[in-house]
Amino acid sequence: MVSTHPVKVQDSGIKYLPDSTKEDIEISGISPNQFLLPLTARVNSHDHLEIGGCDVKNLVQQFGSPLYIVDEETLRAACRQYRDSFKRYYKGESQVIYASKAWSCLAVCAIVNSEGLGIDVVSGGELHTALIAGVSPNQIYLHGNNKSRQELILAIESGITIVVDNWYELETLVELAPSITSQSVRIMLRLTPGIECHTHEYIRTGHLDSKFGFDPNQLSEVFEYVSKQSVLSCVGVHAHIGSQIFERQPHRDLAAVMVQWLEQAKSYGLSITELNVGGGLGTKYIESDDPPSIEEWVKPICEVIQSACEKLNLPLPKLLSEPGRSLIATSCITAYTIGSSKQIPGIRNYIAVDGGMSDNPRPITYQSVYRAVVATKMSAPCSETVTVAGKHCESGDIVIKNAELPKTQPGDILVVMATGAYNYSMASNYNRLPRPAAVLVSNGEANLILRRETYQDLIRQDCLPERLQKS
């Protein structure tokens, strides 16, 4: 049996996890989104990083690299903290819905659902995945600003809740529904609340200049139209103000605004029973990031809604939220194998890994920053500042600029932390690179949840016209 110890503050000053047990962490109220590594991260007697009781080096030897490594315990802990925090602070009914765009695959959907969470989907593909994973239709909510007719038909046939984004979609549902079902279609209305928050321009969705949702100035018109459509059952309103948010006030403001919408709906005879405040809680990617805990995010939202409903003499609605990033980001690391290097005296030192922008497009897309460690040299002091480059034919394929690492050599395993959100889900085959495998680790056992793509997979959908085929 290989002895282990928790990953803690090292001479380099890098903080990964406190020198505490998982139980201590849960009692303290600290949540997974406040760490850089999964809750089970340990260093064994070989000075190797372990996740879920599995040596990262051994995982790479068995499954290859790049490799997504998902810690089941961390993912479940985040689900439970969301679920239990709403139960603790909200007097009415609540439902946490996982925003599966962060990472949609059968295993992740099944784990999240087994913890009592619903699933938020934004396409027919994500909807199909959730259904095949065994998620009940009454636990699935479909979003999107331009749902196709085929997606709407699938949603109606499946009996899920559709979060309606615009007039075109509303009118299309009224047209389609009578020929598909004898039941009224369960919908929510997405509105833009006009609330700004400090995050990347591309992930701010609550301000008025957004492609998402009905303009709040159209609210009366929308409520009046929906109240006259017998084929629609409008059960709630929805708003989402962005992603990777560390501020707490914007969500307090959002909660107050949404309760006013509930009051307004009453005058049109609409019985709105659900209120969805979206998600957006940030997660820790580098040492200086300081996001609120899950509990710190949930508590004020519950307090504001309850207070506002009491003042307006409204019954408490069913309270829904849609976390994605803060549920799964810290649950996953990506393991790479280091290859070539390049020294440019007085300018920069590069090391290259066997992946990059095809398995993690966030640095080149959002200028996102990450932290890395060498999984086979966990106690070695950080002695070099290097830029970690990907292997793609693209000068912008940089995984991390100015990473502080110990001296490395080809064959070392580099681990990039907090890669569970929007890495696999945004992965591509740029340069015809096969997408990586993913493994789920727990109690020393590793299970494949995504097979590594092969070269044959890359050409599976290719069609070569007969006239171009050589005889």
Q: Are strands 332-344 and 232-238 parallel, antiparallel or unpaired?
A: unpaired
User: How many whole angstroms separate alpha carbon 196 and alpha carbon 356?
Assistant: 32
Q: Are strands 94-99 and 318-321 parallel, antiparallel or unpaired?
A: parallel
Contact 94, 62 (CB under 8 A): no
Exposed / middle / buried, residue 269 (Cβ in 10 Å: 0-12, 13-18, 19+)? exposed
Task: Assign 311 to helix, strand or coil.
Answer: helix
Contact 424, 105 (CB under 8 A): yes
Q: Which helix (H) or strand (E) holds 184?
A: none
Select from 434, 314, 330 the least CA-distant residue to 66: 434
Question: What single DSSP character describes residue 453?
Answer: P
Contact 417, 371 (CB under 8 A): yes
User: How many whole angstroms separate alpha carbon 286 and alpha carbon 288?
Assistant: 6
393 is catalytic: yes
* Helices first, then strands: H and E counts in the chain: 13, 21
Q: How many CB atoms lie within 10 A of CB 381?
A: 12
Task: Assign 217 to helix, strand or coil.
Answer: helix
Residue by residue, DSSP assigns 42-108 as EEETTS-EEETTEEHHHHHHHH-SSEEEEEHHHHHHHHHHHHHHHHHH-SS-EEEEEEGGGS--HHH
**Which residue among the candidates 54, 109, 332, 393 is catalytic per the annotation?**
393
User: For the chain, how far is it from start to end, CA to CA, in angstroms?
Assistant: 60
B/e letters for 116-144, b = 16+ CB within 10 Å, e = fewer, are: ebbbbbbbbebbebbbebebeeebbbbbb
The beta-strand segments (E) located in 210-261 are 232-238
Q: What residues act catalytically?
A: 393
